[in-house]
């Protein structure tokens, strides 16, 4: 009975950690563009596949470009009131992003995007793929050891 309670609490702790891991793996950047700023202007993601949801809350056209990457994220600049979504792949690292419409970057439409590697995401939290895998392995191990214990051949825990 004592053993079973221990297993249940360990599993409960792992499941709650798994949810923490999923929360930290979020790879969607939701931003507003106004004159002349992105809000937020500092964003962190834990995936190399990054989805940008941009809503133009300003009067002028806006877009997003990333330093060192050709072209704008959205094929067309977003007009006032428009919103759009696009997904790009970025290697882990820290990037400067800005509005490519002439003059907007200089007026403040610039920000910082940090893409964490899977390894860094694990260090900061838990990897969303590894956690369920670890839970599955643990479950198989627990089931197996319980089975063996009933057979009287398991080593003492």
Binding site for Cu ion (CB under 5 A): 62, 99, 101, 104, 109
Closer of 62 and 122 to Cu ion (Cβ): 62
> Shortest gap between Cβ of 66 and Cu ion (angstroms)?
14
Handedness of CA 143, 149, 155, 157 (dihedral sign): positive
- Nearest in space to 75 (alpha carbons), one of 41, 15, 84: 84
Q: Determine whether 44 is exposed, middle or buried from the number of CB atoms within 10 Å of its CB (0-12, 13-18, 19+).
A: middle
* Partners of 56 in beta bridges: 33
> Shortest gap between Cβ of 31 and Cu ion (angstroms)?
12
- Nearest in space to 114 (alpha carbons), one of 21, 25, 30, 47: 47
Closer of 21 and 60 to Cu ion (Cβ): 60
> Shortest gap between Cβ of 35 and Cu ion (angstroms)?
7
SS3 call for 76:
coil
Closer of 25 and 52 to Cu ion (Cβ): 52
Closer of 104 and 122 to Cu ion (Cβ): 104
> Shortest gap between Cβ of 15 and Cu ion (angstroms)?
44
């Amino acid at each position: 009975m004592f053993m079973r309670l221990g297993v249940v609490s360990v599993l409960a702790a792992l499941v709650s950690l798994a949810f923490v891991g999923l929360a930290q793996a979020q790879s969607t950047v939701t931003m507003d563009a106004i004159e002349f700023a992105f809000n937020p202007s500092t964003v962190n993601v834990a995936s190399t596949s990054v989805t940008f949801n941009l809503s133009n809350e300003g009067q002028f056209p806006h877009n997003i470009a990333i330093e060192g990457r050709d072209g704008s994220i959205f094929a067309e600049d977003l007009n006032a009131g428009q919103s759009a979504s696009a997904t790009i792949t970025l290697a882990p690292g820290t990037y400067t992003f800005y509005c490519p419409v002439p003059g907007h970057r200089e007026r403040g439409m610039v920000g910082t995007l940090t893409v964490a590697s899977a390894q860094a995401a694990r260090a900061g939290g838990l990897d969303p793929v590894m956690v369920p895998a670890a839970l599955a392995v643990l479950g198989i191990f627990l089931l197996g050891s319980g089975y063996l214990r009933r057979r009287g051949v398991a080593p003492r825990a």
